[in-house]
Structure 1
Amino acid sequence: MSTEQSTGLNDNDKSITGFVMISHAVVHTYELSIPILMVIWLADFGLSTAILGTAVAVGYGLYGIGALPAGVLVDKFGSRELVLVCLAGMGGSFLLLSAAQGIVTITIAICVWGIAASVYHPAGLSLISTGVEQRGTGFAYHGMAGNFGIAFGPLLTAVLLLFFDWRYVTALLVVPAVIAILYAMSASFDETAAVQTKTDGGEPTDDESMSLSKFVTDSRALFTLGFSIAIVVVMMNGLFYRGTLTFLPDVLSDFVPNVADQLQLFDPDSPMAEEFNPASYLYAGLLMIGMGGQYVGGKLTDRIRTETGLAVIFGSLAVVAVLFVPAAQAGVVPLLIISALLGFLLFSLQPMYQATIAEYSPPGDRGLSYGYTYLGVFGVGATGAAIAGYLLSVVTVGMTFVALAVFPATGAVLAILLSRTGDRRA
């Protein structure tokens, strides 16, 4: 059986999918290496979780806020060039981060990263929705690649920290962006192969596509009741995603036994023993399991109503959040099980809400729709880091997770409500 027959992807689909997979992996390699570095910054700079959480939330917030203007630019210029700009900007931000001297310079560097990274999701997801005929499969592979980066970033960072100072590590992390740029420049595809681009009255002129009046008009047309509810649903995902993952390596350190000492992996007085943090590897493993969640979630978007999938997954996440700390306190095996469930469920949401946005928005405004989506997911969602940081500084870890469970519980209710609006547009 040929690859095309087995995957359901034609040549153009495969070219686009490869392009967005490597780019998506790099975006999340950077995004999730930051929490590993935060553990070091908390100690090296004597920062509280509230201060560092707020500072990082600013940079993560720009990751979402920039998605809206990026979505407008995608609808005008297409995806390829914007993704290349995104990759170059992210690499440069980590080079800047390597020279950080304190909380101010750390914040500036992460803000630069957030602005550059904000371009990716409107560009990449719009490209899949308009260029890939097997959209659900495209979302699935795209999500899996993102989860590879999500897991690879923390793992690579943790391993490099065994051998190098964190400043050298952040400089070395520029390399993935360089590799992705070289690959991206060689890709060839038709960005609109899966849609009829003229169905809504033809392409707008340059002046029309960039005008404020057109932006307002398109936004008003986009925000039907269904799309509005869908955006709030993805906000709940973003708040829980950022709230749980930002400080999770530090939280896990309280529950994971020091296997390095127990198994005598390193000389107790060696630098490697000092830098080795088992919690970082559990964190990376949890994120790697998310690849399975991405794949399953993506495949299910072609088989069930996405609103139903969102309701079930959100409801399950609320239960996992409430049980997380009691399970972690019960021993290593329950900790591993609850961590695996968290990773699988958290990332199975992503292809579900991405496909849902496509169902509630017209193809001609897909870039704008994903701009609003990631304004919600990563812009509004970034406050989850500040919320979690504050909660960890005033209440117990267990109470923090119970409080964060409100977000997926609300998401489940809204997903049920969304299924009853009946105004799908795709």
Structure 2
Amino acid sequence: MNGNDRSIVGYVMVGHAMVHTYELSIPILMTIWLLEFSTTAAVLGVAVAIGYGLFGVGALPGGLLVDRFGSRTLISGCLAGMGLSFLILSLAPGVVGVTVALALWGAAASVYHPAGLTLISNGVEERGRGFAYHGMAGNVGIAGGPLLTAVLLLAFDWRVVAAVLAVPALVAAVVGVTVEFDPTAAVELTDGGDLRGVPNSLAEFAGETRRLFTLGFLLVFIIVSFNGLYYRGVLTFLPDLLDSFLTAAVGDVRLGVFDSDGPIAEELDLAQYLYAGLLTVGIGGQYLGGRLTDAIEPDRGLVIMLTALTAIALLFVPAAHAGLWGLVAVSVALSFALFAMQPLTQATIAKYSLPESRGLSFGYTYLAIFGIGALGAAIVGAVLTYASASVMFVVLAGFSAIGCLLAVSLVTTQR
């Protein structure tokens, strides 16, 4: 990577890790809020759903803002907004205050993915490697956010923890303004032309949307929707599934790690450690996916990885029933393939979108991944309630198989 690539990638790695650190710290804090505010899981669930909902829905308007104001402005604003929202959270007097703070977090965080991915697409010459490092940093936040929050809660009240968590984002927002890089270096080198204006009216927005949604981009949009259904569906219920499979394989193994008098007194079972380990393994998957985008066309890489995800889903239950090592092996394979999809998906979106509308393209596709994909949790939850884990994995295989067929169609029709 050249100096410009390193500056951009370092900047977005920090931003991506921060977004997912905050995202995954919230479930840990929820355990405290249930006791602190004497509320129900249903009420608190609505409060948290508002923040997570805005995180997904805001991606589309976030994409428009990126095309208008630039990625640097949006990422710095995102970091500042997330930091300030957690400062507000530390002062929340009750559930209403928590709801407001999380809504502010969701709105601020929603602009990150369109902004960060646009910056990599338009500014980084070694795009595949940039996506890989960016994804790896996100996995550090996914795995490290809950752990960091839990460790801080061992020593401090949750309000102090929320305030402490706010500091890194605020510092990064200030530092980010001073980092020097060319945000359009890769466009000038590989795509040519200058970035033009963005829509100023609803009619212009509709026109830009029609221009963006070529057959190729429409296929990409549908593919990432099915990938989102698989991703959200499997990750939402994987901890409980791992617990069931591990109990069958080795019995009920629980490891007490927190002082019973501490703020989050509980015992973590082996499944939760395995789940955290799998999220960490996903860092390797991100790197693999990024390197694949440098070796082959990213849409062809999607065919390979979606085929792998289909096979893993069909083999998961038989492998898990084979014993502990079978469960570990198939779980590691799942994590690798699931997170290897992300750089390939991002590079494919860049390939089938227009440089001047990258923010809008990532806005639409992340609306699909986080918005439509969120239905995966509801679908999988219903299947587990009325059927079984075996049926659930068949449903997941169906999601990835449909995505794979569409990816094959994408490759063949765009020759």
TM-score interval (norm. to shorter): 0.7 to 0.9
Task: Say yes or no: does 1:220 pair with 2:215.
Answer: no
Instruction: Calculate percent identity across the aligned residue pairs.
Output: 56
1:275 equivalent in structure 2: 266
Residues of 1 paired with 2:273 and 2:155: CA distance? 16
Q: Which structure is higher in RCO with an 8 Å CA cutoff and minimum separation 6? A: 1
1:410 Cα deviation from its structure 2 partner:
1.7
Residues of 2 paired with 1:191 and 1:273: CA distance? 43
Residues of 1 paired with 2:45 and 2:383: CA distance? 11
SS at match of 1:154: helix
Q: Note if contact 2:32-2:263 (Cα within 8 Å) is conserved in structure 1.
A: no
Matched ranges for 1:22-421 at <5 A: 22-36=14-28, 46-47=40-41, 56=48, 58-97=50-89, 99=92, 101=94, 108-164=100-156, 168-196=160-188, 204=196, 209-256=199-246, 257-260=252-255, 271=262, 274-278=265-269, 279-421=271-413
**1:198–1:41 CA distance, 2 compared to 1 (3 A):** same
Residues of 1 paired with 2:159 and 2:2: CA distance? 43
Residues of 1 paired with 2:85 and 2:177: CA distance? 21
SS at match of 2:41: coil
Which ranges of structure 1 fall in alignment gaps of 5 or more residues?
Answer: 1-8
Residues of 2 paired with 1:21 and 1:96: CA distance? 25
SS at match of 1:260: strand
Residues of 1 paired with 2:110 and 2:264: CA distance? 37
Q: Which of the two has greater helix per residue?
A: 2
Greater mean deviation of Cα atoms: 76-85 or 154-163: 154-163
Question: What residue identity is the alignment partner of 1:258?
Answer: V
In angstroms, what is the RMSD of aligned CA positions? 3.2
Residues of 1 paired with 2:143 and 2:358: CA distance? 28
**1:21–1:137 CA distance, 2 compared to 1 (3 A):** same
2:249 equivalent in structure 1: none
1:3 equivalent in structure 2: none
Residues of 2 paired with 1:399 and 1:385: CA distance? 14
Q: Give the TM-score normalised by the residue count of structure 1.
A: 0.83
1:228 Cα deviation from its structure 2 partner:
0.1
Q: Note if contact 1:91-1:173 (Cα within 8 Å) is conserved in structure 2.
A: yes
Greater mean deviation of Cα atoms: 228-237 or 136-145: 136-145
Q: Give the TM-score normalised by the residue count of structure 2.
A: 0.85
Question: What residue identity is the alignment partner of 1:340?
Answer: V
**1:302–1:197 CA distance, 2 compared to 1 (3 A):** closer
Greater mean deviation of Cα atoms: 408-417 or 276-285: 276-285
Which ranges of structure 2 fall in alignment gaps of 5 or more residues?
Answer: 247-251
1:137 Cα deviation from its structure 2 partner:
1.5
SS at match of 1:277: strand
Residues of 1 paired with 2:237 and 2:184: CA distance? 40
Residues of 1 paired with 2:116 and 2:374: CA distance? 20
Greater mean deviation of Cα atoms: 189-198 or 223-232: 189-198
SS at match of 1:194: helix
SS at match of 1:185: helix
Deviations 1:274-298 (A, max 9, x none): 4241433322211111111111101
Question: What residue identity is the alignment partner of 1:260?
Answer: L
Q: Note if contact 2:350-2:358 (Cα within 8 Å) is conserved in structure 1.
A: yes
1:358 Cα deviation from its structure 2 partner:
1.1
